[in-house]
Homo-oligomer: A and B are copies of this chain.
Amino acid sequence: MGTSKRGKASLLFEDPPLILSAASVVGKKEGEGPLGKYFDRIEMDSMLGKRTWEEAESELQTRTARLAIEKSGLDKEEIRYYFGGDLLAQLIATSFGSMDLEFPMFGLYGACSTMGEGLQLGSMTVAGDFADRVLVTASSHFASAEKQFRFPLEYGNQRPLSATWTVTGCGAVVLGKGGGGSPLARVAGITTGKIVDMDFKDSMNMGAAMAMAALDTIVTNFKDLGVDERYYDRIITGDLGTVGRRLLLDYLLKAGHDIESRYMDCGIEIFDGSTQDTHAGGSGCGCSAAVLCGYILPRIQQGEWKRVLFMPTGALLSTVSFNEGKSVPGIAHGVVLERMDEGRK
Contact = CB atoms under 8 A, between A and B. Distances in A.
Interface in A107-138: 107-111, 117, 120-121, 124-125, 127-131
A47 to B, nearest CB: 13
Q: What number of copies of this chain does the assembly contain?
A: 2
Interface string A85-127: 1011111100110110011111111110000010011001101
A80 B5 CA distance: 10
15 contacts: A3-B129, A5-B129, A9-B80, A52-B324, A54-B321, A54-B324, A88-B320, A91-B316, A98-B195, A99-B195, A104-B193, A105-B331, A107-B110, A107-B316, A124-B130
Contacts of A96: 321, 326, 329
Given A99-B195, A128-B130, 18 more contacts: A5-B130, A5-B131, A54-B320, A54-B321, A85-B109, A89-B89, A90-B318, A92-B316, A92-B318, A96-B321, A99-B329, A104-B193, A105-B193, A107-B316, A124-B125, A125-B128, A127-B128, A128-B129
A51 B325 CA distance: 11
**Chain A at the B interface: SS class:** mixed
A192 to B, nearest CB: 4
A103 to B, nearest CB: 6
Contacts of A129: 2-3, 5, 128
A9 B103 CA distance: 9
A9 B82 CA distance: 11
A192 B128 contact: no
A85 to B, nearest CB: 7
A148 interface: yes
A317 interface: yes
Contacts of A329: 95-96, 99
A212 interface: no
B108 A106 contact: yes
A8 interface: yes
A107 B109 contact: yes
A255 interface: no
Contact of A92 (B3, B102, B317): B317
Nearest to A148: B320
A39 interface: no
Contact of A90 (B1, B89, B124, B131): B89
A65 to B, nearest CB: 13
Contacts of A52: 324
A142 interface: no
A11 interface: yes
A194 interface: yes
Nearest to A95: B316
Interface in A53-99: 54-55, 80-81, 85, 87-92, 95-96, 98-99
Q: Which of A3, A9, A55, A124 has the most CB of B within 10 A?
A: A124
Given A85-B109, A95-B316, A321-B92, A192 B117 contact: no
B81 A109 contact: no
Nearest to A321: B92
A195 B51 CA distance: 22
**Most chain B CB within a 10 A radius of its CB, from A11, A108, A117, A127:** A108
Contacts of A125: 124, 128
